[in-house]
Homo-oligomer: A and B are copies of this chain.
Amino acid sequence: MIPQHSPPKACIFDVFGTVVDWRGSVSRFCKEFFSARNISADSTAFAEYWRGQYDPAMERVRSGGRGYVPLDELHFENLQATLAHFGLSDRLSSDELWQLNSAWEQLDPWPDVIAGLSTLRKQTIIAPCSNGSIALMTRLARYADLPWDCILGADIARNYKPHEAVYAACCTALRLQPNEVMMVAAHNSDLEAAQRSGLQTAFVARPVEHGPGQTKDLSPTGNWDPIITDFAVLARQP
Contact = CB atoms under 8 A, between A and B. Distances in A.
Contacts of A125: 138-139, 142
Interface string A155-173: 1100000000000000001
Interface in A117-162: 125, 127, 133-139, 141-142, 148-152, 155-156
Copies of the polypeptide in the assembly = 2
Residue among A135, A136, A139, A156 having the largest count of chain B Cβ atoms under 10 Å: A135
A70 interface: yes
Contact of A72 (B135, B152, B156, B175): B175
A69 interface: no
A56 B51 CA distance: 48
A138 B175 CA distance: 11
Chain A binding surface SS class: helix
A149 B147 CA distance: 9
A173 B133 contact: yes
Chain A residues touching B, range:
20 to 34
A100 interface: no
A133 B152 CA distance: 13
A142 B122 CA distance: 9
A138 B136 CA distance: 19
Given A136-B175, A148-B150, A156-B156, 15 more contacts: A125-B138, A125-B142, A134-B150, A134-B152, A134-B173, A135-B173, A135-B175, A135-B176, A138-B150, A138-B174, A141-B149, A142-B149, A150-B150, A151-B151, A155-B173
